[in-house]
Structure 1
């Protein structure tokens, strides 16, 4: 039985392509239209078909996503934990979490020509009330991806410090959401931060990580921008 969906026998083809969890990932990629033409077929048949109709760099990207899906599956099987889900499409506006739950939004802001970046994080309840928030200044020249990961880690560390359980996390970068959810491959400067984030996900109870539009992530973005104009780190509780 498939450990992710619990509904079908687990073949390699099902695990990598047709399980509901895997399909959720593929639908969010540019490759789904091509992949869906082979629906229900075995893994080798799908790969052979894709290699014949797509360019080599697209097939390489697909293989990287496959690796991430398999790694996520192994976490569920061998470590007996539920993998964090990643939403297929980015919401255009902020929506409250389920009753009794908390949602974390994070963002980073980089000033052109500056060696600083600002990170912002806000934790809200089902009524939209701010339970906690932070605006923090970081010294360093970070890539946008690394900055988003640092902001996410800072938000999770805030939740950990305040002993808050977070059910959902939102960032406005899909590549970061998929990376920390275990459905894409990470290397270089991001690798260790991703490991920290995944460990914190388990600690504070994160069940879902999704990307959101910049407009929907406005509060976290404003907090990140505020950090660039402030000389001190700011933290709020129960605003």
Structure 2
């Protein structure tokens, strides 16, 4: 039996724990930015941040996506398809963000560096191409950038992630959000939608029947 929600938990939720539990960076009192909060990993991050009482700010690429992220517990949500959204974030959060989860580093990394709080950190979760940055922005805040890859987790870390996810599911009403499911013969369309998915709302799931 294939359960789309269970598969989404397995793939998306551990990314949050990989960065904020195992690395132990984001803590209560911090303000984090999820740059791309409406997709599978981003929406899991928003839900898990709310559970841990971490103030989370999100972005989405459409009006529907903005409303979707608001329902996940975001204090503020910005439409990253709109001109001037970065200036709005700077005005609302002049002290910057302690932690930024970045889904599209090839586009946003240099912008992220200018949004960091002193000694803030950017976690690169997604990237599709080379990017150019002004490293002086890192010097100004003594900020840092690091990559996130679930495959680098040890067996002990994976067990810890699993235990945290089970606790999260028991203590909250948050659940994985499925945007669309695909059969195996729709694989090409699924790949296209992943690459083109600018206004996402949750997970895209490939269904493989026995």
TM over 0.5: no
Q: TM-score, length-normalised on structure 2? A: 0.29
Q: TM-score, length-normalised on structure 1? A: 0.26
